[in-house]
Amino acid sequence: MDIGFLFGWAEEEGVDLPTKADGSINIPAAFALYDEWKKKGGNGKAKDEGEKVSKNGLPSSGKGDKINLTKQEWAQYYKMLGDEQHGDFVYRTKNGGRCVRLQSKIIIDNGDFVAPAVTGVIEFASNDELNIMLNKLAAEGIIQ
């Protein structure tokens, strides 16, 4: 399943995606939530009323749709874009977006070099967890 699809499903169904303490989406738990919803025939909304989701499906505290990255992480992200322009490998989503890996985070953007727009940040508990998810998504053809 495409991560973008997961966000779209959550928005369409009004499902609040589970987040971690720092506000990033807990992807394994979100996939489990989707699987649970599917098992119920697609009509049961498994919601956690304590969390808010913005109109684009990303976690929101009600203060706007702000991507929380440090200055150093933003610098590393833009360096990765430059490295990709010079031939380095970056994962791509089915819809042409980019999945940039920074330590234990994945930054998802629109894939544009001129006006890149970050659409999501996914943080994992460990590098091993991130590697497992990247391998799974690549095996399923969700990212390339």
In order, the DSSP letters of 38-95 are HHTTT------TT-EE-TTSSEE-SS-------HHHHHHHHHHHHHHHTT---EEBTT
Q: Does residue 62 belong to any structural domain of this protein?
A: no
Same-domain check for residues 132 and 77: yes
Same-domain check for residues 90 and 133: yes
Same-domain check for residues 48 and 76: no
Q: Does residue 144 belong to any structural domain of this protein?
A: no
Same-domain check for residues 75 and 130: yes
Whether this prediction's pTM lies above 0.85 is answered by no
Supply the range of the domain harboring residue 80: 71-139
Same-domain check for residues 38 and 78: no
Same-domain check for residues 77 and 46: no
Same-domain check for residues 83 and 129: yes
CA–CA dist 123, 121 (Å, integer): 6
Same-domain check for residues 18 and 77: no
Same-domain check for residues 77 and 134: yes
CA–CA dist 47, 36 (Å, integer): 11
Sign of CA dihedral 54, 71, 135, 126: negative
* Domain total of the chain: 2
Same-domain check for residues 50 and 79: no
Same-domain check for residues 94 and 120: yes
Q: Does residue 101 belong to any structural domain of this protein?
A: yes
* pLDDT tens readout for residues 23-47: 788 888 888 888 888 777 765 443 3
* pLDDT tens readout for residues 43-99: 544 333 333 443 333 333 333 456 778 889 889 989 999 899 888 888 888 888 898
Q: Does residue 34 belong to any structural domain of this protein?
A: yes
Task: Please report, in angstroms and rounded to a whole number, the separation of the first and last CA atoms in the chain.
Answer: 13
Same-domain check for residues 42 and 86: no
| pLDDT in the model for residue 61 | 37
